[in-house]
């Protein structure tokens, strides 16, 4: 389990290799905070809003972001 990157078989279909290539490398920490550069404040606020209960359960703290959340509209299917 600790040398997962040295496995003989890919463990995934080759057509997904672009997405899965990091699973063939040793553990690295350079991507830990990449989300702070890639996500907007609005995206972070939406994610934190949706995952609030789960974040609390796992003892993650929400970060303070200033964002205007869009109104979310949904239709309830009353079949």
The pTM (predicted TM-score) of the whole model is 0.57
Distance CA 51, CA 56 (A): 9
Distance CA 74, CA 50 (A): 15
> What secondary structure letter does DSSP report for 12?
S
- Minimal CA–CA distance to 62: which of 73, 46, 76? 46
Could you list the residue range(s) of the whole structural domain that residue 18 is in?
Answer: 8-57
Q: Is the pLDDT of residue 76 over 70?
A: no
Q: Is the pLDDT of residue 68 over 80?
A: no
Helical H runs in the chain? 17-20, 34-38, 41-50, 52-57
pLDDT in tens, 3-37: 777 877 778 788 877 778 778 888 888 888 899 89
Q: Is residue 71 part of a domain?
A: no
pLDDT in tens, 50-64: 999 999 999 999 999
Domain count for the chain: 1
Q: Is residue 14 part of a domain?
A: yes
Q: What is the pLDDT of residue 17?
A: 77
Q: Is residue 44 part of a domain?
A: yes
Q: Is residue 1 part of a domain?
A: no
Q: What is the pLDDT of residue 39?
A: 93
């Amino acid at each position: 389990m600790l040398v997962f990157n040295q496995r003989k078989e890919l463990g995934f279909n080759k057509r997904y290799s672009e997405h899965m290539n990091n699973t063939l490398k040793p553990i690295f920490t350079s991507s830990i905070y990449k989300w702070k550069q890639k996500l907007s404040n609005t995206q972070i606020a939406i994610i934190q809003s949706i995952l609030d209960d789960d974040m609390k359960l796992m003892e993650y703290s929400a970060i303070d972001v200033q964002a205007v959340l869009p109104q979310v509209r949904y239709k309830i299917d009353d079949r």
